[in-house]
Chains A and B, each alone.
Chain A
Amino acid sequence: MAKKAAPAKGKAKAAKAGGGGVNKVAVLMVLAALVPFSLPTVALLFFTMLPTMGAWASERGPHKYAWLCVGGLNFSGVIPFLFSLWFGVHTLDESFSMLSEAGVLLWAYGMSAIGWLVYTVMPPVVASWISFTTDRRVAALKAAQKKLVEEWGDEVTKKGA
């Protein structure tokens, strides 16, 4: 029974890994197919979104949240320029011209820096908030206990009195 179950489990794992790989390849192929038609966009995004890629590459562990935070803000800094490109002259020259402007990179990288800041600051803030709420809960419980003692005397603290 155990011998039969083990190969079945291995097959499922392989099928799952295989399925994910096929999807990734399909997505990459679609993106690769689009590259010739939107090369200016890709060039702009590639250079402006470097911090996001750096965040994605540098983060370890099962949960990767930094690239999402940094990426979101990074993208917020890039999107106005991307729209200018799309609604302006959508050429590679224009794209590189934009990249050569300090303001574009400053916005993109500045926003990603803010993203890092948010990502760094948020855990202590949440920790403080959780600590604050638990302290309040403990205080409320102790107050309730005190009220019970006032109402019922010290015997209420004894178990099964």
Chain B
Amino acid sequence: MSETAEQADSGKPAVPSAPGVLRDRYTVRSNQPLPEFATPNAEAFVAEDKRDPNRNLFALICRPDLQPRVNIMRALKGATTMGFVPLVDWGTMLWPPLGRQCMTVIYERPVGKKLMANLRADFKRIDEYEINRRVIEPMVAAIKELTARGITHRAIRPTNMWYMDEGGERISLGDCVTTPPAFDQPVAFESVESGMANPVARGSGTFSDDLYSLGVTVVFLLMGRNPVAHLDEDQLLKQKIQQGSYNTLVGDERLPLPLIELLRGLLCDDPDQRWDIESLDLWLSGRRLSPLQSRLERRAARGFPFNGREYGNCRELAQAMAKNWELAIPPVLEGKLELWLRRAVEDAERAQVIAEQVRMALNSGNDKRAGIDLMLCKVLIILDPTAPIRYKGFNAMPDGFGSALAAVMAQKGDSRLMAEIILRGVPSLWFEARKSYLPDNSLMEGNFRELKGYLTQTGMGFGLERCLYEMNDSLPCQSPLLGEEYVVELKEMLPALNAAAGKRSDAKTWPVDRHVAAFMGARARSDIDRNLVQLTDPEPSKALMAMLNLFAVFQYRLGPESLPTLAAWVGGLVGPVVGAFHSREKRKELEKEIPKIIRRGSIVELYNLLDNEEAHSKDKHEFAWAQAQYHAADEEVKRIQTESEDRGTEAVRIGQQTAAVLGILIALITTTFVVIAKVW
């Protein structure tokens, strides 16, 4: 984000409206903007602490489409360490001007001003005698503090540094949590590799990136101006690649030798050689080290002609090719690059690897185009192994991929490229090219493999949405079902759905969509993937039971005990589950019981009522018996109806037999009577 944008953003007028209230304690005055405290992507407003009205606070309102660094907020909240503008509190708050929940960060208001109002402004330089005490020492202490907490700042620049006192003695670092890491950083303050990445995809990086930014900041402060103000971001990056960061930023400026040593160490373009905290400590303690000489990549004997220009080294060429993806393919496929590497660069090893990659791409089976894209990606990695993952114009550090995906999805952009990168295993190409083993890289590579697995499943709870939440621990659920609710943790999901339930327009909508399911899958501690698969079961009753099961488990484990509106929502959908019982009596019984449970707001009870295996089994058996009875009766009726003719004949025979028996009986009775009459 350029400083021009920073200025423009900071000058935005706020919409006068009601104040926002954070945690029932901090009142954020939406009609009292503080443009001087705003960052390029977060507006600042006056904040008041109800418990201590005398505190001078300001609030930064995060952009809903950018993922804030919640983990860093947790780490920095309440930290009283010198070197940071104190982060007082943070949380989501209903922000009236936007009419939705927004992440809000409350800071203590610095007494002094920013070191630099904007990157084009001149300011009073800090001389070499002062800079150690006033800037380098507190900044090194701050970076040490961050390193101890396992986090990085990624927003170290003079426009984000404040004088914390009237005298301008104490300097502190400003906000670093309202946007993804290094999103607001101009290219000047980023190392070459990070500068190549898309701003949103620069990733958290390491303390080394913070030290580089500190080095650039020191250059600015020593000079009292922006030494590269005349260059746009592309030109600056190009110059850094060609001449090295130190030469680009310091140029012919005359600096004291100790500072040259410091700046050569901090601005070293090789991350492995760049000074670390120990080197800085040594330097601060007065031990002088020999200045690092920038080792620029050897220039080729002749330039490589590409897109109307000639490129003299591999890194420069790779950057140009990454920016012109389609144009880069023909020279690579035609073997021109291989030839150039052999003859002009005299690097037969790399030429051989590239030739092998081209051969494999040309012989790739079904999807030749995909093979060629992967080949070019790999070629770019071979040409410049330290550069970010570069694929079809998208450049990202592996740890910045998550925030980039979050931004694309929040802005409803085209996420197909991101999906393609994961599915084709592009990150693994980058990891394979690492020269040394790093546990973090192994972890990330494993994560990307897992993401590929999620992406190959298209059902609810998987796909790109699952990747989004797996990669971004602190990303709020993006589901439109939640409306204004800001759900970052799983325990907030059911209360948010409960609140959203009252506002739903369509009673038939499920309280689970792709985002909610993916969020639950990513945030649940246990493996719920089997339940998520069942959410898309073609049998509605099974799918509903899977959803009920998820909600019931979460309500049981995370509460709250009563969710009447959500229970009513879910209760209104359980028709197919009730319908799965054959017995009308059982259905009536359930229909009578469900409203009572809904009133209690217990999804657990609702689930237990409907997921009664014994009742289902009994119902099944009794239904089978009833069916058998019905069909037996049917058979008998049919038999009676078809045997009517035979029955006529039978009736005649029985009638005749009856008549015969009757005749004999009458004879016998008469005889008996006569005998009795005569004998008596």
Contact = CB atoms under 8 A, between A and B. Distances in A.
Interface of A: 63, 65-66, 68-73, 75-76, 79-80, 83, 87, 115, 118-119, 122-127, 130-131, 134, 137-138, 141-142, 144-145, 148-153, 155-161
Interface string B426-459: 0000000000000000000000000000000000
Contact of A141 (B637, B661, B667): B637
24 contacts: A63-B656, A65-B659, A72-B663, A72-B668, A73-B663, A76-B666, A76-B669, A79-B674, A80-B674, A118-B662, A119-B659, A123-B659, A130-B650, A137-B640, A138-B641, A141-B637, A142-B633, A145-B634, A148-B629, A149-B630, A150-B584, A151-B626, A156-B626, A159-B627
Contacts, number: 138
B674 A151 contact: no
Contacts of A157: 630
B655 A122 contact: yes
Given A69-B656, A123-B654, 14 more contacts: A68-B663, A69-B662, A79-B667, A118-B663, A123-B659, A125-B655, A130-B654, A144-B633, A148-B626, A148-B633, A152-B582, A152-B626, A152-B627, A157-B630
Given A156-B623, A161-B627, A79 B671 contact: yes
Contacts of A153: 582, 584
A142 B659 CA distance: 34
Contact of A76 (B582, B583, B651, B670): B670
Contacts of B627: 152, 156, 158-161
Contacts of A151: 583-585, 626
B619 to A, nearest CB: 9
Contacts of A75: 667, 670-671
CB-CB nearest 3 A-B residue pairs: A72-B663, A123-B655, A127-B651
B653 interface: yes
Contacts of A150: 584
B16 to A, nearest CB: 62
Given A65-B656, A148-B629, A151-B626, A83 B675 contact: yes
Given A79-B670, A153-B584, A155-B582, A138 B640 contact: yes
Contacts of A71: 663, 667
Given A71-B663, A72-B665, A126 B651 contact: yes
A23 B623 CA distance: 64
A16 B577 CA distance: 75
Contacts of B660: 65-66, 68-69, 72, 119
A149 B633 CA distance: 12
Interface string B640-657: 110000011011111111
Contacts of A83: 674-675, 678
Main SS of the interface on chain B?
helix
B664 interface: yes
A30 to B, nearest CB: 21
Main SS of the interface on chain A?
helix
B663 A69 contact: yes
B653 A63 contact: yes
A31 B652 CA distance: 35
Contacts of A118: 659, 662-663
A123 B651 contact: yes
A82 to B, nearest CB: 8
A136 B134 CA distance: 109
A118 B665 CA distance: 13
Contact of B678 (A66, A87, A137, A152): A87
B665 A127 contact: no
Contacts of B596: none
Nearest to A150: B584
A92 to B, nearest CB: 21
B363 to A, nearest CB: 55
B583 A152 contact: yes
A141 B633 contact: yes
A103 B679 CA distance: 23
Contacts of A138: 637, 640-641
Nearest to A75: B667
Nearest to B632: A141
Contacts of B582: 152-153, 155-156
B636 interface: yes
A19 B637 CA distance: 48
A134 B640 contact: yes
B368 interface: no
Given A79-B670, A127-B651, A122 B659 contact: yes
Given A72-B662, A123-B652, A134 B647 contact: yes
Contacts of B56: none
A80 B675 CA distance: 9
B658 interface: yes
Contacts of B648: 127
Considering residues B627, B651, B659, B675, which has the most beta carbons from chain A within 10 angstroms of its beta carbon? B659
Contacts of A156: 582, 623, 626-627, 630
B583 A65 contact: no
B631 interface: yes
Contacts of A66: 656, 659-660
B656 A123 contact: yes
A145 B648 CA distance: 27
A12 to B, nearest CB: 29
A153 B583 CA distance: 8
Nearest to A66: B656
Contacts of B658: 122, 126
A128 to B, nearest CB: 8
Contacts of B675: 83
A122 B667 CA distance: 17
A87 to B, nearest CB: 6
Given A126-B654, A134-B640, A153-B584, A72 B667 contact: yes
Contacts of B664: 68, 72
Contacts of A65: 656-657, 659-660
Contacts of A115: 659, 663
Contacts of A160: 627
A73 B648 CA distance: 26
B27 to A, nearest CB: 60
Nearest to A82: B674
A138 B640 CA distance: 8
A42 to B, nearest CB: 18
Given A138-B641, A157-B630, A124 B655 contact: yes
A158 B678 CA distance: 71
A138 B638 CA distance: 9
Nearest to A124: B655
A141 B637 CA distance: 7
B84 to A, nearest CB: 69
Considering residues B623, B636, B665, B667, which has the most beta carbons from chain A within 10 angstroms of its beta carbon? B667
Contacts of A87: 678
A158 B659 CA distance: 46
Contacts of B666: 72-73, 76
A76 B658 CA distance: 17
Interface in B493-513: none
A3 to B, nearest CB: 39
A150 B587 CA distance: 12
A9 to B, nearest CB: 29
B671 to A, nearest CB: 5
B630 A145 contact: yes
Contacts of B651: 123-124, 126-127, 130-131
Contact of B655 (A80, A127, A148, A159): A127
